[in-house]
Structures are given as structure tokens and as C-alpha cells.
Amino acid sequence: MPYITTPDGTEIYYTELGEGRPVIFSHGWPLNSDAWQKELKIFADAGYRVIAHDRRGHGRSSRTYRGNDMDTYVADLASLVEQLDLQDVLLVGHSTGGGEVVRYAATRGAGRVSKVATAGAVPPVMLQSATNPEGTPLEVFDSIRAGVLNDRSQFYKDLAESFFGFNHQPEKRSQGLVDDFQRQGMMAGLNAAYDCVKVFSETDFTKDLEALDVPILLAHGDDDQIVPIAAAAERAITLVSQGTLKVYPGASHGIWGEYQVALDDDILAFFAE
């Protein structure tokens, strides 16, 4: 299996398909690059060289005790781009991965990144505060940490229901999606999964969005129960200079079904512009 090794010795697993202009996919928590399997095929078939990596502590990458913070995630992504010597890069990030690609493009991607697309992404900041009243209360993230620490296998099964919106659309429920969500979650080290809750909920990407100097597509479902749109994409679009907001009615946080088909088509069209 292909790996790159970061300056601190962490092994980052990645997978790639196809040839052409590079597209990097960054996954959400607590998943890994397997979450992008459909996109890897579709985008490769469309003529791109597609690459997806497992964030440190997740999937097949090193199970790290240290470095579970956004700046280190971004440094790992930079190592991947540099070691593969990628140019004219297109970035796609979901949820936590959306924050990762935004910060990378704003702080480390000058001269390499051409466009960014995010879906259900966490920027600007998820945590509720006096300046972010539409954010999510700290108690919610504390309950996520408790679930990960105490019975993560069952917690991931339960979380999948709202992640994919099955609690709102029970007639569309897929046991396969629930099982795969739990499988990918269990591939993440407990320590990294626990620490990453603080990363995706408390990291402030406001300055990154303001500094972004390439076009960005901000895609978001209006029934996203994990990263509610009001504190995320609807705020992010006001901070970027070259942004397009695309809202998907009834779409959940998880990328699946009709939402996945429409999202993939929209990102391909955005990259082709």
C-alpha cells in the first residue's frame, strides 16, 4: 500500500487512480479515504488523477498520540502534495476535511492550488459563542467525546442515523451505510478520534476563508444535522472573495443517494470551468 512519511515520522496512507490534473479528497471525521471510493472512480473516469489520504490517526495511517490538531493535519497534506510533486491541484473536502483543505489552500497552497470545493464543511467555526450564536453548544461535543471514549462501536452506529439523515427519512435508511460508517470509525485510533472532536469543533477558519485567493464552491445540505448550514456555509460565503454557495434541499451531512449524484456533477462542472 502507498504511504508517505511526514517530517515527524508519521506514515500517511493514500490511494490514487487515473491520470491527468490532480484532485485531492480530504475526508470527514471519523472516516477515512474509503469514504471517497465512488468519487475516486467517477473523477478518474472523467480524466483526473485522484488522490485520497487517511488523516493521521485514522484508517491505515499511523495511530498517533501527538499531532492531532488542524495545523498538523495541514502539514501532513502539504507533505503529501510535495512528495507527490503535485501542481495545479484541485481540492475537495468534506466536514473536517473541508477545514483542512481551506486552511491548506490559504496558508500552504500558494502556486499549487487552483480551486477548492467543500461539502458540509466545518468553517468558519462550529462551536457556539457570543460571536457565533448559531453555532453548536459545547455540551454536544462533550457528549460526542463521551460516546467515543465509553462505547465507540455503538456510538458510531447511533451517530450514523443523523449523519445520513435516516432519522428524518427512515424510508431511505441503508443498513449498509450505517455498517460502513461504523467500520470506518472503528479503523480510527480512539485517541485520534477523541482529540479530533476539539479540532473540528473549535478551530476557527475565519482568517483562512478571508485569505483564500482561489475560487471555492461551498456545498451544503439544508438538513445537515451534524454541521448545521447557518453557522457554516451560510457564514463562510460572506468571508470568501471568490465563492459560490450551493444548497441541496433535504440533503444530510453524509454524502449519499441523490445528493451524492448531484454533488459530484456540480464539483466536476466547477472544476471544468
> Which residues carry out catalysis?
95, 224, 253
Say if CB 187 and CB 60 are below 8 A apart: yes
Q: Beginning with the edge strand found earlier in the chain, give each strand of the sheet holding 216-221 in spatial order.
A: 3-5, 11-17, 48-53, 21-26, 89-94, 113-119, 216-221, 243-248
CA–CA dist 201, 93 (Å, integer): 16
CA angle 158, 30, 179 (to 5 degrees): 45
Alpha-carbon radius of gyration of the chain:
17
Query: What are the residues facing 22 on neighbouring strands?
Result: 49
